[in-house]
Structure 1
Amino acid sequence: MRWGTPWPGAEPARRCEQAGAVAFCAGEFADHSAYVTAAEMAGATDTALIGPGIAYAFARSPFVHAASVRQLDRAAPGRVFLGLGAGTARMNRDWFGVDSSHPAPRMRELVTCIRALLDAENGERIRFAGDYYRIDADIRAPVLGRIDVPILLGAFNIHMLRTAGEVADGVLGHGLFTDRWWDEVVDPNLRTGAGRAGRDASALRRWGWVITAVDDEDPQRAIDDAKRQIAFYLTVRTYDSLVELHGWQDETAAIRADFAAGRDPRGLGRHVSEEMLWAMAVCGDAEQAGEMLARRRRLPDIGFLSPPGFLVSPRRRKHYVEQIINTFGRIGAVL
């Protein structure tokens, strides 16, 4: 596994690059845009790959995605990737005010349109007519020209994974992805999608987030933060199929009962078993973190080592980034 991190800021990122980080990604929420953050990355890095990881796909038109990527590519030529995620139906409806019905076929069309806009040569008319998008763009300015920007999908369920195999350049896996999930769900469905399109599934990128909390001075706190992050993710029913694959229904039910009852959220992590922790996180002191990495059979090709964010202060997250630099800089760029 080569490693990177979610964007930690300009100064820590420079030291991450020096320590061997090969990529940075940017999520987004109500107070930060993945594209604005990616622009900051472009100006503050020299060699690492940069990009949204993920940007909300349906909140923007194909044109806006493609124009943003083109501008990023001018600032960091050859280093840009685009990670797209569907988001939840509620977020799309209530936050973004857009239709997200039939997300997998909608994503297929969106990626196809973005690709057409990124592949277009100057003077080329861009046409697409589908069920969700219609484009007839005759852009009479010398601003186009083909650029090679990988598009990865934040895919979890089988339909989106097959879509990634069919039209995208790979997947950007969730921090909950386990070895079994990569082996038994991700890979088979990527192959199915790729087969539909006559593509080579082995050429697809398999990147992903890795929940990472390392602290030699207070390893138990790091473990607790990692457990709490896993528990928070599992409050969402989207991940039920992963829970069922591993037989973690009882632990997840206890997490959701406490969460629904409004009990102290800091206690949610007590329901996360050691089996769950070792399957989904890298945490504790540097020695244990190394052992947890060594036990994983299916780490992402590029793993974005992600400090927990749920009930973790910005100061504490910065501390975890420092620990990532110290720990993984010693191990090297390839783990």
Structure 2
Amino acid sequence: MTGANSTADRELHLPVAAQDGVDALAGMTSRAEERGYERAWLPETWGRDAASTLGVVAERTETIELGTSIANVYSRSPALLGQTAATLQEITDGRFRLGIGPSGPAVIEGWHGADFERPLRRTRETVDIIRKVVGGEPVEYDGDIFTLSGFRLRFEPPETPPPIDVAGLGPKSVELAGRFADGWHATTFTAEGLEERLDDLRRGAELGDRDPDDVRVTLSLPACALDDGEEARRITAQHLAFYVGGMGTYYRDSLARQGHEELATDIASAWASGDRDRAVDLVAENVLDDMAAAGTPEQARERVAAFESIDGLDAVALAFPRAADRDQIDATIDALAPEA
């Protein structure tokens, strides 16, 4: 966790929305590498899988670090996540960081057909098993969910095991990250909401007899910087409205915990009733500037800087709105680059 006088790294999330091809994602990453971004994260939802895509991206880049944010803990076994992490660490020459988490019931049940059961315990056991796999140890494990025996990784483990980050929104999931993981991934937070969860992270680190400064904190920040500042704000508000209103209760509950319960309910109700414009307006009028960096390049840079100044935050990863096209994504990468 970054101290008060430190500067957070600037990273980016590759687009969650469908792109023309893997070439497009590799091109965005190369552009980010040229402009000084520290790392590119690839989300895995119901689009291209993270492992194959990052393998291609790794071959077409040289220095930018790469990671998954997030790979869910239901669609792959913990051992397979460990195999994947070890392989990507090899392919990237040590540039890989594994971000995992439970995702949410909408994706796990609706897309993967799995029961969204015991997400915290499953995440905890998955971290334990991955550590054994990437460390080259015999994987002997007797947990509440997983029991494994008789195997170890069938190739030389990475000299430097890839760090394992955990995503989470609620107090208990963030406490878990502080207690067991190498980092925490935060998303859809206001500055005040993030600071409250950082207290949970510190408590988790203390419970695990760890130094909170050893737990790397990354915030995924919706961002869009365009000469047409109103368009940038509109599509970013639409992005947030979709997550709060259209992705079940997961993000709605998170916004409610941050002191916006009535607003979260109103956004969800408007979205569910088909009044998407109303849901977007509610975001734009109330929390857009608290949860995103959107507008003209100058406006967006100001908001990014405000988040980067939060004590305890190590990296801000810019996330593009779902509706952003390639030109808008490239413009935002350029406008908000660390060297801009």
Q: How many residues align?
A: 320
Q: CA contact under 8 A between 1:19 and 1:328: conserved in structure 2?
A: no
d(CA) in 1 for partners of 2:294 and 2:140?
A: 49
The one-letter code sitting in structure 2 at the alignment partner of 1:280 is M
Partner of 1:210: 221
Does residue 238 of structure 2 align to residue 231 of structure 1? no
Change (3 A) 1:165 1:37: same
- State yes or no: 1:5 paired with 2:16: no
1:325 maps to a residue whose letter is I
Counterpart of 1:281 in structure 2 is: 292
Return the match for 2:132 from 107, 111, 116.
116
| 1:69-107 deviation line (CA, Å, top 9, x unaligned) | 111111112210001120223533443233442211121
Is 1:153 the counterpart of 2:166? The answer is yes
AA of the residue aligned to 1:6: H
2:175 to 162, 165, 172: 162
| Secondary structure, counterpart of 1:97 in structure 2 | coil
Matched, 1:318 2:326: yes
Provide the residue aligned with 2:230 in structure 1.
Answer: 220
> Which of 91, 96, 121 is the matching residue for 2:107?
91
Amino acid at match of 1:195: E
Q: State how far apart, in whole Å, the 1-side matches of 2:264 and 2:50 are.
A: 30
Structure-2 change in CA distance of 1:283 and 1:142 (3 Å): closer
Q: Distance in 2 between matches of 1:275 and 1:31?
A: 31
Task: Find the aligned partners of 1:224 and 1:86 in 2 and give their Cα distance.
Answer: 30
Distance 1:162 1:130 in 2: 20
Structure 2 CA distance for partners of 1:33 and 1:328, relative to 1, 3 Å = same
Q: Normalization by structure 2: what TM-score?
A: 0.87
CA distance in 1, matches of 2:111, 2:289: 35
The residue aligned with 1:33 is 49
Indicate conservation of the 8 Å contact 1:34/1:53, yes or no.
no
Q: CA deviation at 1:43?
A: 1.1
Distance 1:260 1:67 in 2: 40
1:226 and 1:91, CA in 2 relative to 1: closer, same or farther beyond 3 A? closer
Given that residues 14 and 45 in structure 1 are in contact (C-alpha distance below 8 angstroms), is that contact kept between their aligned partners in structure 2? yes
One of 122, 144, 149 as aligned partner of 2:157: 144
Secondary structure of 1:321 counterpart: helix
Deviation at 1:134, TM superposition (A): 0.9
- Report Cα offsets for 1:8-61 as digits up to 9, x if no partner: 622232221111111111112223112122212211211111121111112111
Using the alignment, how far apart are the partners of 2:302 and 2:153 within structure 1?
A: 57
TM-score (norm 1): 0.88
1:103-161: CA deviations, max 9, x gaps?
111211111001111112xxx53211011111113348444365321111111111111
The letter of the residue matching 1:134 is T
What does the per-residue CA deviation read over 1:216-245, in whole Å, with 9 as the maximum and x for residues that have no partner? 1x1111111111112112114223454335
Cα separation, 2, equivalents of 1:64 and 1:321:
32
Answer yes or no: is the 8 Å Cα contact 1:63–1:114 preserved in 2.
Answer: yes
Equivalences for residues 33-112 of structure 1 within 5 A: 33-112=49-128
Quote how far apart the aligned CAs of 1:208 are.
2.1
Measure, in 1, the Cα distance between the counterparts of 2:110 and 2:297: 42
* Cα shift readout 1:168-210 (whole Å, capped 9, x = no counterpart): 1011111x1121122112x121122222221111210001211
- Does structure 1 residue 19 correspond to structure 2 residue 26? no
- Structure 2 unaligned blocks of 5 or more: 1-7, 15-23
Q: For 2:267 and 2:161, how far apart are their aligned partners in 1?
A: 43
The verdict on how the C-alpha distance between 1:273 and 1:247 changes in structure 2, with shifts beyond 3 A counting, is: farther
For the 8 Å contact 1:100–1:106, the answer to whether it is kept is no
In the alignment, is residue 177 of structure 1 matched against residue 156 of structure 2? no
| Percent identity between the two aligned chains | 25
User: d(CA) in 2 for partners of 1:67 and 1:232?
Assistant: 34
In the alignment, the residues of structure 1 paired with residue 30 and residue 314 of structure 2 have an alpha-carbon distance, to the nearest angstrom, of 22
The secondary structure found in structure 2 opposite 1:9 is helix
Corresponding residue for residue 255 of structure 2: 243
1:247-285 superposed Cα distances (whole Å, 9 cap, x missing partner): 43343333222211123x344211125451111111111
- CA gap 1:97/1:305 in 2 versus in 1, 3 angstroms: same
CA contact (8 A) 1:126 1:138 kept: yes
8 Å contact kept, 2:83–2:153: no
Over 3 Å counting, the alpha-carbon distance change for 1:42 and 1:169 in structure 2 is: same
